[in-house]
Structure 1
Amino acid sequence: MQKYSTLLLVGIIVVLAAVLAGTLVFMKNQPPQERAFQPLVEIAPMEPDSAKWGINFPNQWSSLQRTAGNNVDTVFGGSSKFSWLERDPRQKILFAGYPFSIEYNDDRGHENALTDVRETKRLVLSREDETKTTHATCYSCKSSDNPSLWKELGMEGYDAMFFDDMTPRLNNAIGCANCHEEGTMRLIVTNPSLENALKAQGKDWTAYSRQEMRSLVCANCHVEYYFEGPEKLLVFPWGKGTRLDQIVEYYEEEGFKDWTYPGTGTPMLKAQHPDYETFTAGSTHYNAGVACADCHMPYVRDGAAKYSSHDIHSPLINPEASCGQCHTDVNYVTTRVAEIQQQVAATKLATEDALVDAINAIKAAAANPNVDAALLDQARALHRKAQFMWDFVSAENSMGFHNPEYTLKNLADATNLARQAQMLASQAANDPALLATGTYYLPAPTP
């Protein structure tokens, strides 16, 4: 009797194992759409309304909506609309003659992108000046309507339109369609300028791993760029690479300038938010395989559901979720971040003082009728390079933490070049008084 019971038990186990194996084989051989998450609604290609995606992904959508009101600041940044010109008045001098000297506010969350670009004084002043007409290029990183418009108009047609003519066609802030492919939900490059920049380096983003894409999609927007030619075509200056020295070399060959500094005649460059270039320049976290989304969009739970938070903000707002995924001592990590940022902030202010000294010296030399023009041009070239190198740090969104060693090196090089520019201006005017140094503004109290 016991023998038959044993055989029966073995038979049951064999049958169950066969059923399980068959089920697994069946599931594996199903088409991807049959195995994946089954959506409640079908999403149209490049659907700009994130609320429709939110029917299928309510947690991601509800967390994205929180970026509209998440105005919490950290010591050196955050998500409120504070003025960098008030916090650091040196920047009024550094950007003199350019709209950034009129208004330079910190960015708010993604849900505010359209509102903030339409309200900025930099564009309002440009539209009020009859000699200037703002192009739609300024909308390139502000709306989830863009992918479908790029397909309809082409990037050249989009950028050639004027800002006010494009305004009625953009009704959705940054959202799902900027980063995701409908149906598969895979991460994709949507900005044609990013695709062009990658191709210029011989790179194909479709061959990137999912982890690599969790940083690359941020490069749709969080990068250095410029507007090329009268059509204001959006271009990433990556033709020689993404490191600062390679970008400087690119701009020198192109002969590009954003504006001419008043009183010095220097052709200047304005850096944009080069977060991706800074992070990927051999930073500790990048080399360890960490992606932007790991820190800025950490996995969180809603009951049994685990999802990537789309409430994108500084990891310092919620370090337990952002840093605690990898680091056991979160207090140590946040203390270390504070030390790095304080060091970078102090070094950045010293660089600004050197730049202001250089500007003052070049202005005085340019006003001297007996100036050595060749030496003065050399001083201008050094000022142009030094200020862009400083701005590559200043315009970046981490106060150095994305890549501390790289950031401090760039500031040191910028300070050195600024002092060389000041020295050459003094020599050009044969005036040792132009070597005077100063501290121009005490740093504003931190919030």
Structure 2
Amino acid sequence: MRNSDRQGATLKRLGIIMGAAALAAALAAAGVTALLVNIFQRQQEARNPFMRVVDITDDTEDPAEWGKNFPMQYDQYLKTSDQQRTRHGGSEALPHQPTAADPRTVVTQSKIELDPRMKRMWEGYAFAIDFREERGHAYMLEDQTYTQRHQKPQFGNCIHCHASVYVPYKKLGDGDLMKGFAEMCAMPYAEARQYVEHPVACIDCHDPDTMQLRVTRPGFLEGVKVKMKVERGIDNYDPNTMATRQEMRSFVCGQCHVEYYFRPEDKRLVYPWFEGRQADQILGYYDGIGFKDWVHAETGAPMLKAQHPEFEMWSEGTHARAGVACADCHMPYMRVGGMKISDHHVRSPLLNINNSCQTCHKAPEAELLGRAERIQDKTVEMRDKAMDALMELIDAIVAAQARGVDADILDAARMEQRRATFLIDFVEAENSVGFHAPQEAARVLFTAMDHLRQGLMLVGQPTPGGVQESVPAANPGG
């Protein structure tokens, strides 16, 4: 090959190499540019968590309007309509034939049909008529509206924890939240229901100007003042100005997930934390003021119904002591693009272990689920033993009434029935099935068993487990 041909071939190869290098450089530059643009966009997303599409005010009640500014959170919020079961919680969707009185096409399983002991425990009360498995926030108002418990008179105080009430309270009170709260509490339920339209909504937990968390439920605003006075000696505590952000991530949940009672003279909803938040402290307060929810149909005992004391039970547990908030587990952070948001699909952490639990607990998902379920299994076992003993006490009191046992003895036995029932119900109504505070749940059920033992002794029956109180103590010198 001549020199000129070799030089031409060399130049050609060199041109190809340079062209390829230029193309590679161009592609790399384009890739780097695209990456930088993507990073910039994600940084901008993080800096600007929402775009104000509509104006939100302190009177914007409809969550769909908030959803125009916060579509990702709103999409998650809508998922609270999902029905999914855990081993001891959640619910299954059951078909329901709509009627004029109850137009629902889907309901949940009746708990009093699954466990008839509950029906007898509450005999004479509205919960003995209808009590079903819980559904998500999306159904909280609908399920309250159509429950058969309305066969007994109900008042507007119930709506406090089952609807978006902030705007209705303000309207009823001509701008005064507390005044509107008092007025709705005293209304018959059917009248109060006309003032509310949505289940719990964005405005109940967020300030529309800053989007910061806030407490809006009057019952909690009054109750937490008592709580902080009792526990910390703080006067006139206001969570909206004095609580930390982490405390607020539990307080907004504790607005509703609590025990409460209706003050007889004006039907006002009150959180009974005057002597503390533990079950027996609340019971002591009720005993001290002589409060009762109803009279038991079989025994005539003055009874108490526990509500849903998740906040009280959680407060006694290890997670609360470690500074873990309700939202950390039930609304864990999630990534959407470059944004970090709270998951507004509020649900059991057992359905979202990766985000809810493994952020702190570096163990396999199956192991963490197993730990939680073992706690719940043991709580159910203890609760079942207590429920069986409660049925024995009711039988014994009914039999003692038939025998004509002294009225004072019967009254004392009825008080033990009242106390044991409330303590059992405190654990039963608390939706974590003992997980929020396993030792506290066990302590409460043990205390209930002690009241059952005393009640059975009063009416001359064997104590739970078949141990006769008449058996003499061992002779230490024998």
TM-score w.r.t. structure 1 length?
Answer: 0.83
Deviation at 1:243, TM superposition (A): 1.4
Q: Distance in 1 between matches of 2:149 and 2:388?
A: 25
Pair 1:175 & 2:201 matched: yes
Matches within 5 A, 1:7-22: none
Q: Which amino acid aligns with 1:260?
A: V
Deviation at 1:180, TM superposition (A): 1.1
Deviations 1:301-326 (A, max 9, x none): 22222211111111111211211211
RMSD: 1.9
Q: Distance in 1 between matches of 2:347 and 2:91?
A: 7
Would the alpha carbon gap of residues 322 and 360 (structure 1) be closer, same or farther in structure 2, given more than 3 Å must change? same
Partner residue, 1:149? 168
Contact 1:357 1:438 in 2 (8 A): no
Partner residue, 2:33? none
Three-state SS of the structure 2 residue aligned to 1:231 is: coil
Which residue of the other structure, out of 42, 63, 76, is the alignment partner of 2:88? 76
Pair 1:61 & 2:74 matched: yes
Deviations 1:226-283 (A, max 9, x none): 11125321111111221112201110111110111123111000000000000002x1
Matches within 5 A, 1:193-342: 193-201=219-227, 202=229, 203-205=237-239, 206-281=241-316, 283-329=317-363, 330-342=365-377
Which residue of the other structure, out of 120, 127, 145, is the alignment partner of 1:100? 127
Deviation at 1:333, TM superposition (A): 1.3
Deviation at 1:43, TM superposition (A): 0.6
Deviation at 1:158, TM superposition (A): 1.3
Q: Distance in 2 between matches of 1:224 and 1:158?
A: 19
Q: Which amino acid aligns with 1:111?
A: A
Contact 1:79 1:313 in 2 (8 A): no
Gaps of at least 5 residues in structure 2 are 1-46, 93-107, 174-178, 230-236, 467-478
Deviation at 1:36, TM superposition (A): 8.4
The aligned length equals: 388
Partner residue, 2:232? none
Gaps of at least 5 residues in structure 1 are 1-33, 127-132, 427-433, 440-447
TM-score w.r.t. structure 2 length?
Answer: 0.78
Identity of aligned residues (%): 41
Q: Which amino acid aligns with 1:137?
A: N
Partner residue, 1:120? 147
Pair 1:350 & 2:377 matched: no
Q: Which amino acid aligns with 1:159?
A: C
Q: Distance in 2 between matches of 1:323 and 1:54?
A: 28
Pair 1:404 & 2:444 matched: no
Deviation at 1:204, TM superposition (A): 2.8
Q: Distance in 2 between matches of 1:359 and 1:41?
A: 59
Which residue of the other structure, out of 121, 126, 135, is the alignment partner of 2:155? 135
Q: Distance in 2 between matches of 1:241 and 1:396?
A: 17
Q: Which amino acid aligns with 1:55?
A: K
Q: Distance in 2 between matches of 1:436 and 1:398?
A: 29
Q: Which of the two has higher C-alpha Rg?
A: 2
Partner residue, 2:30? none
Contact 2:420 2:449 in 1 (8 A): yes
Deviations 1:357-404 (A, max 9, x none): 1111111112222x1222222211111111101110000001100000
Deviation at 1:35, TM superposition (A): 9.2
